[in-house]
């Protein structure tokens, strides 16, 4: 999308009566007055662009929410740039009191990116011709993912991933464990093989898997079949024995659930009483938790993490892999469909009264595949509980990541209401 330099739509749902408004308005002014931003927009009119943004707060006892961190990053893929990619990021941190602009490859947390690209470390052929580098995704402060390929196609492409110094080695070791487990199990899907680690640059490399991500392949004709297959793959993944991964903390999960509800209410106070009732319902009906029954979980299993080419399936990005309750991961996937898949996003927002609900059909297709592979039915009550939690998480994320859409928000609130009514009426014990 192309963004105009006038009337910047930076967290537009934060209006003049909100406590964060003075700070956000200052960020809007800084951005609109920065000539680098106007230049970046002008250079890529009609081209490929993206915006990554985040606003985070901390709860101060007796005071309420304070803005703790903010960033807004305008990114473009521009052939005239040295790396064919450009990003201008506005970053502010309450802890340091500093507000600054950064031009890629500068980043306040990913500090080794600048030196790595300056050293040109990859040469795919004997003549020393540099490989082609494509930035795939840049999430400021957190990670940069890129692809290096050989123009002559004599060497297989690889994926490089920068992460924070405190996280990159853990992510690589987790990928090593997952890759070994999948190879041993002879699963019906593949994962990227680890290639190597560059500790000096907080960077690791992995195999580039072929295919397009599933979110772009789901259409009205094929989504039932593809999501059914995705369900079988997810069940296979949950059956893997992957050592040396962390265990999910249910207590922390409940704390985060409460914070998400407070965060939503902070921006949409009219929903506060309803969400308080939902929280109370969830706390009354907390499912039985037994860490001995945990399974290996991907940590972020959504359609865009699945690659498909000629019936060859790959699962990517195991940075958040852990042992946890598979019901949570199932619920998070179901909630993600209307945000992660263009087909379902459009349907969720534009669906007319009386029109068939393809999103519900999609959920059932996936669940049928999962249950058939497991050869047993899932507990619908347990799944209901986690589905409500997942919808709340995505509502909070919508506000945190500047993805607020009033119609999507209102329809999700109604979905939470519907799911909670079902949970309240279900008198069965959680198995």
Average pLDDT over residues 100-128: 77
**Number of alpha helices (DSSP H) and beta strands (DSSP E) in the chain:** 13, 15
Please state, in angstroms and rounded to a whole number, the distance separating the CA atoms of residues 422 and 220. Answer: 28
Query: DSSP string of 5-42?
Result: SSS--SSTT--TTSTTHHHHHHHHHHHHH-HHHHHHHH
Residue 68 three-state SS: strand
Please state, in angstroms and rounded to a whole number, the distance separating the CA atoms of residues 326 and 297. Answer: 6
pLDDT > 90: what percent of the chain? 82
> 1 pLDDT exceeds 60?
no
**Domain 212-425: top CATH class:** alpha beta
Please state, in angstroms and rounded to a whole number, the distance separating the CA atoms of residues 31 and 28. Answer: 5
16-63 confidence digits (pLDDT tens): 999 999 999 999 999 999 999 998 888 878 789 999 999 999 999 888
pLDDT value at position 201?
A: 96
321-354 confidence digits (pLDDT tens): 999 999 999 999 999 999 999 999 999 988 877 6
Average pLDDT over residues 361-369: 98
Parallel, antiparallel or unpaired: strands 295-297 and 322-324: antiparallel
Residue 117 three-state SS: helix
Please state, in angstroms and rounded to a whole number, the distance separating the CA atoms of residues 192 and 171. Answer: 13
Here the tokens at position 250 are 């249910």
140-155 confidence digits (pLDDT tens): 999 999 999 877 677 8
pLDDT value at position 362?
A: 97
Average pLDDT over residues 291-315: 97
Please state, in angstroms and rounded to a whole number, the distance separating the CA atoms of residues 320 and 301. Answer: 10
- Name the pTM for this structure: 0.93
C-alpha distances in Å from residue 165, one per residue of 110, 116, 245:
8, 14, 19
Domain 108-208 matching CATH 3.30.200: the answer reads yes
Confidence of residue 425 (pLDDT cuts 50, 70, 90): confident
Contact 333, 388 (CB under 8 A): no
- CA–CA–CA angle 22, 95, 16 (5° rounding): 10
pLDDT value at position 399?
A: 98
Reading across the β-sheet that carries 306-309, which strands appear in turn?
Answer: 189-191, 312-315, 306-309, 212-213
- CA–CA–CA angle 88, 91, 95 (5° rounding): 165
Cβ neighbours, 10 Å, residue 157: 17
Instruction: Please report which helix (H) or strand (E) contains residue 230, including its range.
Output: helix 223-238
Please state, in angstroms and rounded to a whole number, the distance separating the CA atoms of residues 51 and 87. Answer: 9
More reliable by pLDDT, 284 or 187? 284
Here the tokens at position 120 are 């040109």
> 3 pLDDT exceeds 60?
no
More reliable by pLDDT, 45 or 94? 94
Helix axis angle, 272-284 to 250-267, nearest 10°: 170
pLDDT > 70: what percent of the chain? 93
**Residue 124 per-residue DSSP state:** -
- Spell out the domain ranges in the chain: 1-104, 108-208, 212-425
Select from 119, 84, 319, 110 the least CA-distant residue to 203. 110
Weakest-pLDDT range from 38-52, 189-203, 383-397: 38-52
Mean predicted lDDT score pLDDT of the chain:
92
């Amino acid at each position: 999308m192309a963004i105009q330099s006038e009337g910047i739509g930076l967290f537009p749902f934060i209006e003049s009566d909100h406590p964060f408004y003075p700070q956000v308005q200052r960020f809007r002014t800084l951005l609109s007055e920065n000539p680098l931003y106007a230049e970046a927009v002008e250079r890529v009119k009609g081209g490929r662009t993206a915006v990554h943004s985040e606003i985070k707060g901390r709860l101060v006892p007796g005071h309420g929410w304070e803005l703790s961190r903010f960033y807004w990053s305008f990114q473009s893929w521009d052939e005239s740039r040295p790396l064919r990619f450009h990003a201008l990021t506005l970053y502010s941190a309450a802890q340091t009191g500093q507000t600054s602009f950064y031009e890629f490859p500068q980043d306040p947390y990913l500090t080794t990116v600048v030196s790595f690209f300056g050293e040109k470390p990859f040469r795919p052929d004997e003549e020393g011709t540099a490989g082609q580098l494509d930035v795939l995704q840049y999430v400021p402060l957190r990670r940069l993912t890129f692809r290096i390929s050989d123009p002559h196609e004599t060497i297989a492409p690889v994926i490089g991933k920068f992460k924070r110094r405190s996280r990159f080695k853990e992510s690589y070791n987790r990928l090593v464990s997952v890759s070994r487990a999948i190879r041993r199990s002879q699963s019906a899907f593949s994962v990227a093989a680890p290639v190597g680690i560059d500790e000096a640059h907080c960077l690791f490399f992995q195999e580039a898997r072929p295919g397009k991500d599933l979110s772009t392949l789901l259409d009205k004709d094929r989504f039932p079949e593809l999501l059914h297959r995705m369900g079988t793959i997810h069940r296979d993944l949950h059956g893997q024995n992957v050592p040396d991964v962390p265990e999910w903390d249910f207590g922390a999960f409940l704390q985060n659930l409460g914070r998400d509800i407070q965060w939503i209410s902070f921006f949409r106070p009219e929903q506060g009483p309803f969400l308080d009732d939902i929280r109370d319902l969830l706390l009354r009906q907390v499912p039985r938790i037994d860490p001995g029954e945990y399974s290996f979980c991907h940590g972020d299993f959504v359609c865009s993490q699945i690659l498909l080419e000629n019936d060859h399936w790959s699962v990517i990005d195991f940075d958040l892999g852990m042992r946890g309750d598979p019901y949570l991961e199932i619920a998070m996937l179901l909630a993600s469909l209307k945000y992660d898949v263009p087909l379902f996003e459009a349907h969720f927002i534009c669906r007319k009264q009386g029109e068939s609900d393809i999103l519900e059909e999609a959920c059932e297709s996936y669940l049928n595949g999962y249950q058939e592979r497991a050869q047993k039915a899932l507990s619908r009550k347990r799944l209901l509980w986690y589905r409500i939690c997942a919808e709340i998480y995505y509502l909070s994320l919508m506000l945190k990541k500047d993805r607020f859409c009033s119609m999507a928000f209102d329809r999700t609130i109604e979905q939470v209401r519907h799911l909670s009514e079902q949970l309240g009426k279900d008198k069965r014990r959680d198995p």
